Structure 1
Amino acid sequence: MPESPRSSDSESTGGTPLRPCGRSCRCARSSHATSDLDTLLATPGFSGSLLGADVPAVARRLPLLEQVVGVTVAGPVLMNAVGMHETPVGSGGAIRCRPSRITLRINPARLGSALITDPAAHIPPTLRLFDTDGNTAHATYLTERSDRLAFESLALGIGSGDDEGSASDTGALTVADAARDDIGDDGVPAIDQVAQFDAILDDGGVGRLMTFPGLRHAGHTRVESRRVIAALEHAALLGMPATLVTTAPGCLQMHHDQLDGAREHRGSMVIAGGTCRAMINFDLVSECWVTWSDGVWGRTGSIELYDRHGRCSLVVTQTGPVPMTSFEAWNQLVTDLAD
């Protein structure tokens, strides 16, 4: 997994909450002298192109790459999904997660640059989006079914600033970017739980986590990780539809599909749903919470995982117009988890 356990991370997640570090964090993880971007650029034999800081312009062209592998790492959680990118949306935009699609929700203010790299060793051509600290927010790996020409045109199109992919035509991602798609296939508005995800997108969920102790009257409940593991395994056993959301700085990767399986061994868990896999190191998960927000069918439960810095790493919930029976079953499972 992305990090190595520390003794303090293996304690029960039902104990005293850790104080979130927030944006001013000066602990070991935030004080690294070398960022992911610096490391790549300093690698001997590196071959690639830095696309600059207009990340929204790059993000809007992700669907042109056709089938790819999208990867997001968020502390103790890693998600990868195979499929085509949806056009990413920004804060306030509609939530739309379809099977075989890679859905990104981004905050341009927290993203710093984009980089395309040529193949090296066993790594295929890759497009990486970096946060403002130069660390990877999302990586897109090409496959044999990707459009290599579209990938190679990124360096020319974005860099020149004079074609249809330039910043002058794309601008920042806003609600308008998703307006044409804010109605689902069955006519149900796809705007559920927007505030929940945007609060996490804003600052990594640090501020949101700090409010939870005062929201117990609303059903927000801290639970132990072993109970979360059991609940996710049960949901997978029943084949429940679920939305998995991995939350890196400035970028949420979302995937909605029926859960196919979940297995845990010595604190490490893999959850599978369609073309998506989420890997969780529960030894590095500091707090687990059951939360509630307004969804398409009403009050909807979520399971949220936070790392030792107070940042949200994973949300498991239901979004969109799922069948009422599935919605009721999910809410019952989350209610039982919180009791």
Structure 2
Amino acid sequence: MPESPRPSDSEHTGRGSRPECRDRCTCPRANGSANDLDTLLATPGFSGSLLGSDVAAVAEQLPSLEQVVGVTVAGPVLMNDVGIHELPVGIGGPIRCRPSRISLRLNPARLGSALVTDPAAHVPPTLRIFDASGNTAHASYLTDTSDRLAFESLSLATGGFDGTTASHHVVSAAPRRDDTAEDRDMPSADDQIAQFDAVLEDGGTQRLRSMPGRSEDGFARVESRRVVAAFEHAALLGMPMTIATTAPGCIQMRHDRLDGAREHRGSMVIASGTCRAMINVNLVTECWVTWTDGVWGRTGSIELYDRHARCSFIATQTGSVSAETFEGWNQLVADVAR
């Protein structure tokens, strides 16, 4: 595959050139390898439009698309859900995850660009958000009940997402501490917002490094088979829970009753309403039980990490669940850690 689309391809695609990263470029192309964005742009007959570099402004348009299929890809984990996007929140923002909405938590600093594509090869019109390496972080596929006019308007507004559009609503970073060596060595704050934001900041790699020293806080590395059994047991109980798939710069969350969980030869599917999370357990290298402060107090989580020491999936409880649900979940997580 050539490094860039052939001139004959670009003459009829109706797209602009790939956005330039300049000195801050971390794209795989700079290292001689391909990524999702380059592969799409190099596809003969590709038809679509790059929406510039202001991914935060693009993300704020997601709710206007109405019902879509939202998909987040995070290494060994893929989550898809059918519904209407909640207005995304940024670092430091509240935790939002309603059963009827597709909820995203974003860090624009780790995202690269956005792209709208026309239907092709049985793939419907799609809005894709890429991470800073050019790989897909989140994709929204249109359905028969989507607002096609809102989607088309994105293609016409490519000049409005070039980095000059300020995002004042939700996708804005909270003030950060000075990134000193002392700060980098300190464990993250013990609340759930800090838990998710630590993953958004760097994929959770610093958080993972701090875990072995926190056994007194109840943190424990566990075998994947115990995690699989815990999810299957929670599904048998129909337990409400929050599941989150954590791609670079993007977390897709859902809180609802767990309808099913099944593992076969290392592939696990978790079902919750219209949402499905697919986990390749064979590619999960570390599983951890962790504890943070939630609405009801000390709350357990199960976190899955890939071979790059990046968090791919979190299961926990958020919001004002019933006392029985909260106690049952914490007991289940404590049993996993034993």
Give the TM-score, by structure 1 length: 0.84
Mapped to 2, the partners of 1:112 and 1:332 lie a distance apart of: 40
2:297 corresponds to = 298
**Paired AA for residue 308 in structure 1:** R
Mapped to 2, the partners of 1:290 and 1:243 lie a distance apart of: 15
1:277 corresponds to = 276
2:87 corresponds to = 87
Return 5+ residue gaps in structure 1 as ranges: 1-25, 177-191
Mapped to 1, the partners of 2:154 and 2:33 lie a distance apart of: 29
1:265 corresponds to = 264
1:140 corresponds to = 140
* Structure possessing the higher relative contact order (Cα contacts under 8 Å, 6 or more residues apart): 1
Q: Secondary structure at the match of 2:326?
A: helix
Distance 1:338 1:54, change over 3 A: same
Matching of residue 45 in structure 1 with residue 45 in structure 2: yes
Matching of residue 229 in structure 1 with residue 228 in structure 2: yes
Per-residue deviation, 1:158: 4.5
Q: Secondary structure at the match of 1:95?
A: coil
Q: Secondary structure at the match of 1:215?
A: helix
Are the aligned partners of 1:245 and 1:255 in contact in 2 as well (CA < 8 Å)?
yes
1:325 corresponds to = 324
2:184 corresponds to = none
Q: Secondary structure at the match of 2:51?
A: strand
Question: For residues 47-82 of structure 1, what are the alpha-carbon distances to aligned partners after superposition, in whole Å with 9 as ceiling and x for unaligned?
Answer: 000001000000001000000000011111010000
Once the two structures are overlaid, the 10-residue window that deviates more, 149-158 or 203-212, is: 149-158
Per-residue deviation, 1:168: 3.8
Matching of residue 243 in structure 1 with residue 250 in structure 2: no
Q: Secondary structure at the match of 1:199?
A: helix
Per-residue deviation, 1:161: 6.0
2:313 corresponds to = 314
**Paired AA for residue 305 in structure 2:** Y
2:115 corresponds to = 115
Where do 1:65-76 residues align within 5 Å?
65-76=65-76
2:207 corresponds to = 208
Are the aligned partners of 2:88 and 2:170 in contact in 1 as well (CA < 8 Å)?
no
Q: How many residues align?
A: 296
1:174 corresponds to = 172
**Paired AA for residue 214 in structure 1:** G
Per-residue deviation, 1:166: 7.5
Q: Secondary structure at the match of 1:310?
A: coil
Are the aligned partners of 1:68 and 1:83 in contact in 2 as well (CA < 8 Å)?
yes
Q: Secondary structure at the match of 1:122?
A: coil
Distance 1:31 1:278, change over 3 A: farther
Are the aligned partners of 2:230 and 2:332 in contact in 1 as well (CA < 8 Å)?
yes
**Paired AA for residue 111 in structure 1:** L
Question: Stretches of 4+ moved more than 4 A in 1?
Answer: 169-172
Mapped to 2, the partners of 1:283 and 1:31 lie a distance apart of: 28
Mapped to 2, the partners of 1:161 and 1:143 lie a distance apart of: 24
Distance 1:293 1:161, change over 3 A: closer
Mapped to 2, the partners of 1:31 and 1:261 lie a distance apart of: 42
1:124 corresponds to = 124
Distance 1:311 1:168, change over 3 A: closer
Per-residue deviation, 1:201: 0.5
**Paired AA for residue 234 in structure 2:** A
Distance 1:169 1:311, change over 3 A: closer
Are the aligned partners of 2:51 and 2:157 in contact in 1 as well (CA < 8 Å)?
no
Per-residue deviation, 1:269: 0.5
Are the aligned partners of 1:58 and 1:158 in contact in 2 as well (CA < 8 Å)?
no
Per-residue deviation, 1:174: 2.5
Once the two structures are overlaid, the 10-residue window that deviates more, 64-73 or 30-39, is: 30-39
Are the aligned partners of 2:93 and 2:170 in contact in 1 as well (CA < 8 Å)?
no
Q: Secondary structure at the match of 2:308?
A: coil
2:179 corresponds to = none
Q: Secondary structure at the match of 1:305?
A: strand
Q: Percent identity?
A: 72
1:14 corresponds to = none
1:11 corresponds to = none
Are the aligned partners of 1:94 and 1:175 in contact in 2 as well (CA < 8 Å)?
no
